[in-house]
């Protein structure tokens, strides 16, 4: 079966842009294209549960094939925090700036800067559930570097590279990133479906 149109259950325009630049065999539409503007509940305590919760919400509402992702930054010296709580790490005042500041403060004394980004994608296709995972290892820099990307990109440098994700182009990041890897698995699967 050829999948022509599939919903990515996200309201994040950066993610939609990243994925659309990696995919050309089918059209990926976002929640805004469907007029879905409400915040979708994300109450799970794992990436997998959250990804499935969001995909199910959209599937139940629209009946369309769809997928959703959930991503976490896992920092070894912080007991793999912020993990599933990456978006709200700085608490009530959470935003990108405050989340990054908190991570840098917590790691100030730490010589272990090892971290990984993990993405889990949940796909609902013809009513069945599938999961795809992507992981990229790296280190947390001592200070921000670069103006591109989003979220924790300015402080994450992948292993084997000299620069942070925020210095890379979207294509360079897609090639090696957690979400890029998970998306490749999703695309391969869809191509065989
Ligand atoms: P989400 O669950 O994918 O929305 O992401 C949770 C948190 O991780 C948010 O604070 C995002 O900013 C951050 N995040 C997700 N993907 C990335 C990425 O590719 N780079 C940097 N931060 C990300």
Provide the residue-wise pLDDT of the chain in tens; the chain has 193 residues: 444 789 999 988 878 887 777 777 778 899 999 999 998 999 999 999 999 999 999 999 999 999 999 999 999 999 999 999 999 999 999 999 999 999 999 999 999 999 999 999 999 998 999 999 999 999 999 999 999 999 999 999 999 999 999 999 988 998 999 999 999 999 888 777 7
For residues 6 and 66, the answer to whether their CB atoms sit within 8 Å is yes
Q: Report the atom number in ligand 1 closest to the C-alpha of 88.
A: 10
In this prediction, residue 25 carries a pLDDT of 72
In this prediction, residue 5 carries a pLDDT of 82
151 CB near ligand 1 (under 6 Å): yes
**140: closest CA among 161, 160, 119, 154?**
154
Query: Distance from the CA of 87 to the center of ligand 1, in angstroms?
Result: 7
Report the distance separating Cα 166 and Cα 171, nearest Å.
12
Start-to-end C-alpha separation, the chain: 6
């Amino acid at each position: 079966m050829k999948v022509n149109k599939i919903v990515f259950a996200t309201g994040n325009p950066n993610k939609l842009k990243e994925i659309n630049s990696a995919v050309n065999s089918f059209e990926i539409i976002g929640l805004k294209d469907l007029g879905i503007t409400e915040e979708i509940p994300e109450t799970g305590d794992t990436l997998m549960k959250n990804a499935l919760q969001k995909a199910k919400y959209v599937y139940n509402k629209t009946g369309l094939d769809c997928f959703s992702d959930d991503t976490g930054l896992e920092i070894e010296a912080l007991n793999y925090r912020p993990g599933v709580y990456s978006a709200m790490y700085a608490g009530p005042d959470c935003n990108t700036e405050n989340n990054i500041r908190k991570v840098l403060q917590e790691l100030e004394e730490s010589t272990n800067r090892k971290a990984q980004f993990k993405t889990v994608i949940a796909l609902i296709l013809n009513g069945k559930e599938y999961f795809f995972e992507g992981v990229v290892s790296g280190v947390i820099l001592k200070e921000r570097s670069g103006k591109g990307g989003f979220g924790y990109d300015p402080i994450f440098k992948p292993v084997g590279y000299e620069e942070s994700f925020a210095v890379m182009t979207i294509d360079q990041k897609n090639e090696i990133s957690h979400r890029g890897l998970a998306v490749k698995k999703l695309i391969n699967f869809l191509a065989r479906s």
